[in-house]
């Protein structure tokens, strides 16, 4: 598959936004920042211990209000000046800091992405507001609305409907004209609750999808502040093949089919690429100063969720191997010409992940043109494992999050093995 086609699946929102940059207000690049201290009020009562209240939140499409991405949100009630709001996507749970004022208006800053949620709670049973989206990726926000539900459990994620008459559980071979051959895995309970993910070639995965099966149709979604995905799959009458669509809110819908068959090997077929140079060297000027050392080159972007999925593994490898001589060189491809804005995001990225190595910046809206000429990756991020003599030992594109548990474990183990191999590589002879 051509580089541009696969990268378009990952970064279509970013490229579209950049091409329409002149349409956006200059104010759109203002970074959301948390207040230095929490506002007062916000229904705070000294003698009341807040309870956790849960909402089914819908993120609505800008051009089509029928398009919905759903997640579950838990907040303290009465609302507090500062608290932790919990987001649930099936088995995935994480928290964001939320600040509220006396009018029941609350703000959530989503780290690194320069995004956030602005929410109003006019009553105890509902909420409304806006998803303030990454200004590099989007030219505007998206409306959100929510209703009170009984809890974070999967059965409350969607409204009850027709009982399930199809079982999507198990592993599937997925084919798509847009992202090629890939794999998917789902788990479904007796009530029709369904979780799982799809893992396209070189791009990453669809994260922690969660939803419900009604009849022969599965509706799943996930939301993490940068990605807003909705997946719909309909089983055929023989219950052996399904047709599906993968929606990235407001930007693209990818069609695919699934059948119960052996899926491609993760490492051999999905992620490993080759360097297109006879001597297996790449043109990265910063590597010259690291000659004689084993190096992991991490080509990423702060706007790229899959890139952020890679970082904990890199941090772990650095902690283990840096005392033995390993170097990590990160190259941030930021799709903007605004260096101050890019460095602000990079600072937030470094602070979030406690980065202990150097990162260099590459600026440009068409970031693909900034890649070394010796590589034509099938996805992003790009990770190079470089021997002491400067040759590329392995090249990996994409990554898999913990949503695809087995595949995530496999790629983490592969990263560790490849690091051990470059550590053992012979020294440069020239």
Q: Can you give the residue ranges of every domain in the chain?
A: 35-156, 170-259, 266-423
- Model pLDDT, residue 325: 96
- Model pLDDT, residue 273: 61
- Model pLDDT, residue 62: 66
* Section 233-260 average pLDDT: 89
- Model pLDDT, residue 40: 33
pLDDT at 191 over 90: yes
pLDDT at 268 over 70: no
Using alpha carbons, select from 360, 395, 366, 401 the residue that is nearest to residue 378. Answer: 395
pLDDT at 278 over 80: no
* Section 143-154 average pLDDT: 95
Question: pLDDT of 368-407, one tens digit each?
Answer: 777 888 887 777 899 999 999 999 999 888 899 999 888 8
Q: What's the CATH fold of domain 170-259?
A: Lipocalin (2.40.128)
- Model pLDDT, residue 21: 37
- Model pLDDT, residue 146: 96
Whether residue 149 has a cis bond before it, omega within 30° of 0: no
Higher per-residue pLDDT: 309 or 8? 309
36 band by pLDDT with thresholds 50, 70 and 90: very low
- Model pLDDT, residue 371: 84
- Model pLDDT, residue 290: 92
Mean pLDDT of the chain: 84
- Model pLDDT, residue 276: 63
Q: Give yes or no for a contact between 134 and 305, defined as CB atoms under 8 angstroms apart.
A: no
The superfamily in CATH containing domain 266-423 is Glutaredoxin (3.40.30.10)
- Report the distance separating Cα 321 and Cα 308, nearest Å: 20
Instruction: Specify the range with the lowest mean pLDDT, choosing from 10-14, 35-39, 145-149, 249-253.
Output: 35-39
Question: pLDDT of 194-221, one tens digit each?
Answer: 999 998 876 678 999 999 999 999 999 9
- Model pLDDT, residue 239: 82
Q: What CATH number does domain 35-156 carry, 3.30.2420, 2.40.128, 3.30.160, 3.30.870? A: 2.40.128
pLDDT at 44 over 70: no
Identical fold, 35-156 and 170-259: yes
- Report the distance separating Cα 293 and Cα 388, nearest Å: 5
Instruction: Specify the range with the lowest mean pLDDT, choosing from 101-115, 161-175, 237-251, 273-287.
Output: 273-287
- Model pLDDT, residue 111: 81
Residue 402: phi, psi to the nearest 5?
-60, -10
* Section 118-123 average pLDDT: 96
């Amino acid at each position: 598959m051509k580089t541009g086609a696969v990268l378009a699946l990952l970064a279509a929102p970013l490229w579209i936004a950049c091409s329409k940059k002149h349409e956006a207000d200059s104010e759109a690049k203002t970074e959301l920042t948390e207040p230095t201290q929490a506002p007062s009020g916000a229904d705070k009562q000294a003698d009341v211990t807040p309870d956790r209240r849960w909402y089914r939140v819908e993120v609505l499409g800008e051009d089509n209000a029928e398009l919905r991405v759903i997640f579950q949100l838990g907040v303290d009630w009465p609302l507090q000046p500062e608290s932790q709001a919990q987001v649930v996507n099936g088995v995935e749970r994480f928290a964001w800091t939320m600040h509220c004022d006396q009018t029941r208006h609350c703000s959530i800053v989503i780290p690194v992405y320069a995004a956030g949620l602005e929410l109003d709670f006019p009553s105890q049973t509902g909420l409304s507001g806006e998803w303030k989206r990454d200004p590099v990726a989007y030219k505007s926000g998206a409306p959100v609305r929510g209703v009170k539900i009984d809890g974070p459990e999967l059965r409350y994620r969607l409204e009850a409907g027709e009982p399930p008459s199809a079982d999507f559980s198990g592993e599937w071979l997925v084919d798509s004209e847009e992202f090629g051959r890939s794999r998917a895995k789902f788990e479904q309970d007796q009530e029709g609750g369904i979780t799982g993910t799809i893992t396209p070639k070189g791009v990453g995965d669809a994260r922690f999808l969660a939803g419900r099966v009604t009849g022969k149709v599965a509706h799943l979604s996930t939301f993490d502040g940068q990605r807003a995905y909705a997946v719909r799959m309909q089983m055929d009458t023989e219950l052996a093949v399904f047709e599906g669509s993968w929606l990235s809110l407001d930007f693209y819908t990818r069609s695919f089919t699934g059948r119960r068959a052996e899926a491609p090997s993760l490492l051999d077929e999905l992620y490993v690429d080759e360097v297109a140079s006879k001597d297996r060297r790449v043109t990265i000027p910063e590597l010259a100063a690291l000659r004689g050392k084993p190096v992991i080159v991490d080509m990423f972007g702060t706007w790229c969720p899959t890139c952020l999925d890679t970082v904990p593994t890199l941090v772990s490898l650095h902690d283990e191997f840096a005392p033995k001589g390993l170097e990590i060189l990160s190259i941030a491809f930021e799709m903007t010409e605004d260096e101050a804005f890019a460095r602000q995001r990079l600072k937030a990225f470094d602070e979030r992940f406690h980065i202990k190595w150097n990162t260099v910046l590459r600026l440009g809206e068409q970031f693909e043109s900034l890649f070394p000429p010796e590589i034509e990756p099938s996805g992003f991020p790009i990770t190079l494992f470089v021997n002491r003599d400067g040759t590329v030992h392995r090249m990996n594109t994409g990554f898999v999050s913990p949503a695809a548990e087995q595949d995530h474990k496999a790629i983490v183990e592969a990263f560790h093995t490849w690091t051990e191999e470059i550590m053992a590589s012979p020294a440069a002879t020239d």
